[in-house]
């Protein structure tokens, strides 16, 4: 017998598998609307100018020493201001336990491990649908999962009453995973809201506006947790830079929680990478670079908003009798199109258009050059 003879290959990742299939397709017409990474109007990846400028400032000056277990304190301080507000009393009162994390995924995972360790009986309520990796993250942290209603297939919008019922019916003190653009209903049951904020700035074009849900929860007196990522809003995908924060009852508790988060990180990766953290702290602490960043976030968000309008108009122009209002009503990087898995299969096999089978279209992959082609294909498969 061999050591690893019993190991089967893992199933393909539903999101990353789409890109593999796209790359293998030789068609000149092919379109990738599967991947959650921003592209410019030529379909090209983008490095922000503020990032290039920050890189130029550190070139040759950077030593390669380890960061502390909790990462760059400077980066974490600046990152917390984005989520909790520039003048947040919670920051002044040192009530936030926060560590640099391996982007949004790492922040979620660190929190899930922390949850398992210190609330071992708790479950996590995850919206339907959600980013598929949320399920993997809490599964591998051995936290059992429940789901709550979020999307309404008919309206292709929020199922508000379904969500409220699920929140009311959940046992007191449950953990709820919310995407940071979600609503504010977890008050009287004493639930713990954990915000995954992977797209701050991408929804409205303004990071302050996109933090609104969190600010409302803070005003309402909730203790909460936040995962922040600079993958999308600073285009630092492969740098893996983010932050996990937990708002605590007082500064003493925050010290305890922070040291425990560091203790969880130590045997996993010791300390987080230095380069991306340095870029983020330079950009956020320099008023000129921060302004440059805010403008560049807005350009990305506006391009996506423009493509929503263009896609909807192009489908409607073809005389589709169906309603496509949800394309422009939904916000953020994705459009949950409502297309059935079989219709998605036809988009791929007949039109070389690649997306996940749940009908999720990455608006970042839509350009002025492919929007007509995409609209026509969507119209054909939804007739």
Which residues are bridge partners to 147 per DSSP? Answer: 126
Rg (the chain; Cα; Å): 21
Q: Which residues contact 8 (CB under 8 A, 6 or more apart)?
A: none
Note whether 181 binds ligand PLP by CB under 6 A.
Answer: no
Could you tell me how many residues of this chain bind ligand PLP (CB under 6 A)?
12
Pick from 159, 166, 196, 210 the residue near ligand PLP by CB under 6 A. 196
| Closest by CA position to 212, among listed 191, 197, 232 | 197
Shortest spacing between CB 230 and ligand PLP, in angstroms: 7
Distance in angstroms (rounded) separating the CA atoms of residues 319 and 132: 34
Cα separation, 318 vs 372, whole angstroms: 10
Q: Would residue 232 show up in a list of annotated catalytic residues for this protein? A: yes
Instruction: Determine if 231 is a binding residue for ligand PLP (CB under 6 A).
Output: yes
Among 131, 150, 151, 293, binds ligand PLP (CB under 6 A): 131
By CB under 6 A, tell whether 233 contacts ligand PLP. no
> Does 242 sit near ligand PLP (CB under 6 A)?
yes
By beta-carbon proximity to ligand PLP, the closer residue of 281 and 382 is 281
**Nearest C-alpha neighbor of 99 from the set 72, 65, 135, 81:** 72
Report helix, strand or coil for 194: strand
Task: Give φ, ψ of 99 to 5 degrees.
Answer: -135, 150
Q: Quick one: which of 104, 193, 201, 207 contacts ligand PLP (CB under 6 A)?
A: 104
The yes-or-no answer on residue 196 being catalytic is yes
Residue from 36, 71, 193, 235 that binds ligand PLP (CB under 6 A)? Answer: 36
- Residue 145: is it exposed, middle or buried by C-beta count within 10 angstroms (0-12/13-18/19+)? middle
Contact criterion met (CB below 8 Å) for 355 and 361: yes
Site string for ligand PLP, 322-361 (x = CB under 6 A): ----------------------------------------
Instruction: Kindly tell me the burial class for residue 250, based on how many C-beta atoms sit within 10 Å of its own C-beta (0-12, 13-18, 19 or more).
Output: exposed
Q: Considering beta carbons, is residue 240 or 308 the nearer one to ligand PLP? A: 240
Judged by CB under 6 A, the stretch of 3-11, 100-108, 269-277, 359-367 that binds ligand PLP is 100-108
Residue count of the chain: 383
Task: Kindly tell me which of 231 and 282 has the beta carbon lying closer to ligand PLP.
Answer: 231
Rounded Cα–Cα distance for residues 159 and 100 (Å): 34
Q: Which stretch binds ligand PLP (CB under 6 A): 102-110, 143-151, 157-165, 277-285?
A: 102-110
Q: Which residues bind ligand PLP (CB under 6 A)?
A: 36, 103-105, 131, 179, 196, 198, 229, 231, 237, 242
Supply the residues annotated as catalytic.
Answer: 131, 196, 232
């Amino acid at each position: 017998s061999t050591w690893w003879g019993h190991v089967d290959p893992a199933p393909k990742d539903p999101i990353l598998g789409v890109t593999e299939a796209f790359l293998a397709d030789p068609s000149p017409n092919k379109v990738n609307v599967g991947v959650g990474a921003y592209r410019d109007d030529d379909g090209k990846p983008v490095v922000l100018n503020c990032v290039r400028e920050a890189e130029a400032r550190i070139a040759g000056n950077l030593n390669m020493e380890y960061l502390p277990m909790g990462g760059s304190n400077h980066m974490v301080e600046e990152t917390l201001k984005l989520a909790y507000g520039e003048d947040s009393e919670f920051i002044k009162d040192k009530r936030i336990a926060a560590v640099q994390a391996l982007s949004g995924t790492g922040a979620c995972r660190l929190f899930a491990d922390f949850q398992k360790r210190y609330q071992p009986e708790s479950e996590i309520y995850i919206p339907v649908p959600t980013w598929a990796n949320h399920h993997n993250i809490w599964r591998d942290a051995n936290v059992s999962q429940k789901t709550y209603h979020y999307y309404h297939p008919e309206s292709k919008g929020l199922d508000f009453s379904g969500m409220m019922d699920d929140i009311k019916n959940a046992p007191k003190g449950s953990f709820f995973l919310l995407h940071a653009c979600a609503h504010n209903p977890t008050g009287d049951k004493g639930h713990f809201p954990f915000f995954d904020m992977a797209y701050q700035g991408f929804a409205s074009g303004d990071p302050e506006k996109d933090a609104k849900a969190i600010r409302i929860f803070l005003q309402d007196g909730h203790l909460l947790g936040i995962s922040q990522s600079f993958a999308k809003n600073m285009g630092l995908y492969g740098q893996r830079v983010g932050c996990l924060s937990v708002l605590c009852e007082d500064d003493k508790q925050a010290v305890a929680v922070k040291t425990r988060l560091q203790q969880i990180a130590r045997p996993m990766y010791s300390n987080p990478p230095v380069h991306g953290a340095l870029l983020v702290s330079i950009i956020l602490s320099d008023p000129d670079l921060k302004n440059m960043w805010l403008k560049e976030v807005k350009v990305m968000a506006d391009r996506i908003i423009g493509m929503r309008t263009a896609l909807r108009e192009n489908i409607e122009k073809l005389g589709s009798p169906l309603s496509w209002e949800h394309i422009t009503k939904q916000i953020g990087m994705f459009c949950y199109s409502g297309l059935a898995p079989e219709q998605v299969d036809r988009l791929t096999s007949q039109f070389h258009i690649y997306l996940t089978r749940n009908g999720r279209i990455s608006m970042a992959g839509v350009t002025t050059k492919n929007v007509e082609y995409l609209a026509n294909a969507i119209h054909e498969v939804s007739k």
